[in-house]
Copies of this chain bind each other. A is one copy, B any other.
């Protein structure tokens, strides 16, 4: 069949949810992490650029492009911490894949839900290489929109089955327990972040305040722990006290971006960090010993979105969970764009 050149497959929110449910959340996370892992192994092949950010007093709107030479992808994503006050998401996103050789879009997809999944999959992938292999207990600090996805990714990829939850709003922790009930976790809702850390081999911080916060102080962090720092992801928004960073071996996605947006914005610009892809590709060690504090300073990078879109594109070919969007002008003769307009006019019913 000839492709319809005007059509771009579109994965709506509704179809994304159907796709995730058809595959199963944990299997989706495992397979998605596999796609991210595969792309991290060919990291050097990608065009990489820090995201293009438009900051305002209320938040940020970003474009995150990348390309592997054959396929181009970008994500539109906002971050507006105060959005929840009027019933909106803090983060919404959508993304596009396109064919590098002709520039035609291949896929348009919602990415609000997909971003939550890819962030969680990347965190768990990092932990697979960095957390103590015996880790089963995770402190989960910040129990908002990301929390359940983080929990399930760490269960599926790392084997976490005990969650110690803390949020400044206890109802968020209760929501988490309710949503994750029956999925194989033991829960403890804690009154403080410090209490949440008791006995945890992994701590995930995923709070939403847009400011320099100190969710973790130095005295709270014991030897051997893996810190998955997700919420500190834009200039002026951090979660960890700088002293923790200095005691940790720090792993990042893309240093030019993380030094601006991540926890390490608190450190000198030449502070040594290891790139996660190097660990995944076997070019740098992950965890070396039981006493080491490892820190994944997650900010989210375009290649992870690329992997996620690539994964979704492969699934929809099988599941047909997409709509056809009339996004591209397709005149019979490419140089005759105006003629297409004239023919549309001729085809209209007489007034």
Contact = CB atoms under 8 A, between A and B. Distances in A.
Contact of A339 (B56, B79, B103, B175): B175
B58 A330 contact: no
Contacts of A101: 56, 58-59, 80
- Counting chain B CB atoms within 10 Å of each CB, the highest count among A72, A101, A102, A335 belongs to A335
Each complex incorporates copies of this chain amounting to 2
Contacts of A335: 84, 143-145, 172, 175
A297 interface: no
Interface string A3-39: 0011000101110011011000100000000000000
A76 B86 CA distance: 30
Nearest to A83: B102
B54 A79 contact: no
A100 B58 contact: yes
Interface stretch (A61-69, A228-236, A279-287, A308-316): A61-69
B328 A112 contact: yes
B12 A325 contact: yes
Interface residues of A, number: 82
A201 interface: no
Contact of A334 (B87, B103, B147): B87
A6 to B, nearest CB: 6
A104 to B, nearest CB: 6
A88 B116 CA distance: 35
Interface stretch (A90-98, A121-129, A243-251, A269-277): A90-98
A58 B18 CA distance: 37
A146 B338 CA distance: 8
A110 interface: yes
A78 interface: yes
6 contacts: A10-B325, A13-B327, A14-B326, A58-B101, A78-B104, A89-B328
